[in-house]
């Protein structure tokens, strides 16, 4: 039982390049989330999904797109990377109940030059 996994662990991009971050969970969770974490800002929600084929915007969605074609996978895309997107990206998943905690992946460190 691997929990939540993320690939890649680290990536360097040039401004304008595109990339996709992959998140996978093996806990059969309904909900999945993408966050970014920046110094002094805390975790901020980018996009989330309540189930396969459904996604919604979070607090800071601009410049990102997501897809959830399979229940266990949640992809985060950057179409044209900008230096402001340099951050650590965390994926998380949870069950449906309000008391359910979110389980986080190990993170992807992205540097945009």
Partner 1 sequence: GQNIDQPTEMTATEGAIVQINCTYQTSGFNGLFWYQQHAGEAPTFLSYNVLDGLEEKGRFSSFLSRSKGYSYLLLKELQMKDSASYLCAVRGPLTGANNLFFGTGTRLTVIP
Binding positions for partner 1, rule: CB under 8 A: 4, 31-33, 40-45, 48-50, 56, 58, 90, 94, 96-107
Task: Let me know how long the chain is.
Answer: 113
- Between 17 and 30, CB nearer to partner 1: 30
**Least Å from the CB of residue 7 to partner 1:** 14
Helix (H, G, I), strand (E, B) or coil at 52: coil
Nearest of 8, 33, 1 to residue 107 by alpha carbon: 8
CB of 49 to partner 1, least distance (A): 7
Supply the minimum distance, in Å, between the C-beta of residue 41 and partner 1. Answer: 7
**Residue placing its CB nearer to partner 1 in the complex, 85 or 108:** 108
In the complex, least distance from residue 6 CB atom to partner 1, rounded to whole angstroms: 9
Tell me whether residue 17 or residue 109 sits nearer to partner 1 (CB atom).
109
Sequence-distant (≥ 6) Cβ neighbours of residue 2 within 8 angstroms: 24, 26
Rounded to whole angstroms, how far apart are CA atoms 31 and 23? Answer: 12
Residue with Cβ nearer partner 1 (11 or 17): 11
Please state, in angstroms and as integers, the Cα–Cα distance from residue 10 to each residue in 21, 59, 92, following that order. Answer: 10, 24, 17
Dig out the tokens for 112 from the structure: 């945009």
């Amino acid at each position: 039982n691997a929990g939540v996994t993320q690939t890649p662990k680290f990536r360097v991009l040039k401004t304008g390049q595109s990339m996709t971050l992959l998140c996978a969970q093996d806990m059969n969770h309904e909900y999945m989330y993408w966050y970014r974490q920046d110094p002094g800002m805390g975790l901020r929600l980018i996009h989330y999904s309540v189930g396969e084929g459904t996604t919604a915007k979070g607090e800071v969605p601009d410049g990102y797109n997501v897809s959830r074609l399979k229940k266990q996978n949640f992809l985060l895309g950057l179409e044209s990377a900008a230096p402001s997107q340099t951050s650590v990206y965390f994926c998380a998943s949870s069950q449906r109940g309000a008391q359910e905690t979110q389980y986080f992946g190990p993170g992807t460190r992205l540097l945009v030059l």
